[in-house]
Chain A
Amino acid sequence: NAGVMQNPRHLVRRRGQEARLRCSPMKGHSHVYWYRQLPEEGLKFMVYLQKENIIDESGMPKERFSAEFPKEGPSILRIQQVVRGDSAAYFCASSHILIGSGTDTQYFGPGTRLTVL
């Protein structure tokens, strides 16, 4: 029973390049969340997606960042024209909301560590 999978685990980009991070949720999960963790800090919410829909992108920077979760395939977090300040660990989480339970545990992947040179 595979957990949340993310790739690549490490990504190095030069300033101005594009970074593309992938996340495959746990089997049976249709809700995906992206979080960013800066060094020595907690995780910060970026975006919440369901299949083919962006539900909440209130934590996503307005420019250069985009996310998608297509009907088929993994969720993608795309960062265009990366800058040094984008260097961080990016974590994906998935959940399966149980109707009426009031809770929906989010399970995290191992993260992608992005380094911008």
Chain B
Amino acid sequence: QQQVKQSPQSLIVQKGGISIINCAYENTAFDYFPWYQQFPGKGPALLIAIRPDVSEKKEGRFTISFNKSAKQFSLHIMDSQPGDSATYFCATLSSGSARQLTFGSGTQLTVLP
């Protein structure tokens, strides 16, 4: 089964700092790389996503960096806020007709006030 390896498992950042979460995937049969944010007791919510023909995408304080040759992508949260405290999941979407998301194991982010 395809895997997506996510690190770190947990992250503590001071308010105003930069949060960085990394993911690595195993094969090239993916054409969409989303990041989801999940608060306790809630469903995952799409935060930002990137396609493999782009190396970087920025939306507000959130940036995805994508390295196709290394099969890695990362989420950067600039000016982290206590309200960003949540669990973040990277994912890959398989190409073809399957269209299933394969999720990383998650990173629990805590932003201290």
Contacts and interface: CB of A to CB of B under 8 A. Distances in A.
User: Chain B's interface: helix, strand, loop or mixed, by majority?
Assistant: strand
Interface residues of B, number: 24
A91 interface: yes
Interface residues of A, number: 29
A4 B42 CA distance: 12
Contacts of A58: 98, 100
A81 to B, nearest CB: 25
A56 interface: yes
Interface of A: 4, 6, 31, 33, 35, 41-45, 48, 55-56, 58-59, 91, 93, 95, 97, 102-111
B41 to A, nearest CB: 8
Contact of A45 (B34, B46, B102): B102
B100 A56 contact: yes
B111 to A, nearest CB: 20
